[in-house]
Structure 1
């Protein structure tokens, strides 16, 4: 005979979850699911912001990942190797990074130097630097003012960044574990 007490307890916990679906079956999974969906929506809004800001200052339509590459290349005013770009942006999709770099070069925002064993470096062109500076100015004028309206913004952003870095480690570890999981069946 099935344990009806345990079944009732599981059912009542699932019903208590405000979303009651396969990813949110109890309070901890509901909190994680709510966070994940908020993160996805924030990511999409962030990408739209990046594209809109870049289009406003340069008249160029690029996706958020290409925009991020441009800003990382401009960071600290020194050329970067593709390995650095991938590490800073936590990307593993080499072919897409290379394609993004080609788009940035075609737009005249990035130049490439070096070769083979010596190393290939990507640097911002004068136009690329100007675009990054104009982007930063518009970001200060529009986005930072908007975010500044939130209470305790700086403190909360610092805490959020710290927690997101910790969660990044959890997701990376879980991804490695998930890659081997199907082999155990």
Structure 2
């Protein structure tokens, strides 16, 4: 989405955002809109890729939890999973974990509020390995085929990490303005 500087530019698309009154606001709004679309596309990609290797109908965030649990092949607590995924919706995380445990991809160990961890089962490791292979073939090979895209992705990762911190701080400040 590009805001035209001159409404008469031939072929230019001029989107008028209620959130944008100047160039910085237009850039920010367009980035946020792109992030929303990317998030939804990424979620569909995750669901379709997982469906190709498993019978589990999982959302993007559930799929992400499975891979985060598998990361470094060590058990993780709900608190760690929430931190690693930058989520604070613990009841939804717990629901997703029950779903992954029910599918036999994750196992729960320990007891009590602080002693419970989750790890990938043998079936979960097999599914995540197959997912990785399909991801490599369908996604990573395409990325590698675009000259300079890997470098751009590294820069985008840095920018998104910075933006995450800015959004977190802005969210804390906005919370103080509640009525």
The two structures have a TM-score, normalised by structure 1, of: 0.87
How many aligned positions are there? 170
Alignment of 1:1-185 (within 5 A): 18-116=14-112, 119-183=115-179
* C-alpha distance in 2 between matches for 1:67 and 1:161: 20
Cα displacement string for residues 52-102 of structure 1 (whole angstroms, at most 9, x for unaligned residues) = 000001122100111011001111111111111010000000000000000
For residues 78 and 113 of structure 2, the distance between their equivalents in structure 1, rounded to whole angstroms, comes to 13
The answer to which of 32-41 and 18-27 deviates more is 18-27
SS at match of 1:59: coil
Contact kept in structure 2, 1:73 and 1:124, CA below 8 Å: yes
Measured in 2, the distance between the counterparts of 1:118 and 1:98 equals: 14
| Deviation of the 1:26 alpha carbon | 1.2
Unpaired stretches in structure 2, ≥5 consecutive residues? none
Q: Secondary structure at the match of 1:91?
A: coil
The question of whether the paired residues in 1 share the 8 Å contact of 2:17 and 2:26 is answered with no
Deviates more, 1:115-124 or 1:89-98: 115-124
| Counterparts of 2:155 and 2:120, CA distance in 1 | 32
Which structure: larger Rg?
1
Say whether the 8 Å CA contact 2:107–2:121 is kept in structure 1: yes
Structure 1 distance, partners of 2:87, 2:129, is: 24
CA distance in 1, matches of 2:57, 2:116: 26
Render the CA deviation track for 1:91-118: whole Å, top value 9, x for unaligned.
Answer: 0000000000000000000000101166
Unaligned runs of 5+ in 1: 1-12
Contact 1:19–1:30 under 8 Å retained in 2 = no
